[in-house]
Amino acid sequence: MKTILVISVRNHTLMSQDLWNYYLSLIPEDQHSKITKFYHWKDRQASLIGKLLLKKVTENYFDEGIFSKLKYTKYQKPYLDKEFSFNISHSGEYVVFAYTLSKQPLGIDIEKIDPKIKIEDFHSVLTAVEKNKIHKSQIPICTFYDLWTIKEAVSKADGRGLHIPLTEIKINEDHIITNTDKWFYKNILITENYKCHISTSIKDFKVNLTQMTIDDLYEKLIITTNQN
Q: Give domain status of residue 196, yes or no.
A: yes
Q: What is the CATH number of the domain that holds 32?
A: 3.90.470.20
> Residue 168: its pLDDT value, please?
79
Q: Is residue 227 assigned to a domain?
A: no
Element (DSSP H or E) covering residue 181 = strand 181-187
Instruction: Give residue-wise pLDDT tens across range 67-97.
Output: 888 999 888 899 999 999 999 999 999 999 9
The domain containing residue 171 runs over which residues? 2-216
Residue 186 neighbours by CB under 8 Å, 6+ apart: 197, 198, 205, 207
List, in sequence order, the alpha helices (H) in the chain: 17-25, 32-36, 41-61, 128-136, 140-158
Amino acid at 129: V
For the full predicted model, state whether its pTM sits above 0.85: yes
Nearest-5° Cα angle at 219, 215 to 223: 115
Q: What pLDDT digit, counting tens, does each position of 7-64 carry?
A: 999 999 999 999 899 899 989 898 899 999 999 999 999 999 999 999 989 998 998 8
Residue 221 lies in a domain: no
End-to-end CA distance of the chain: 6
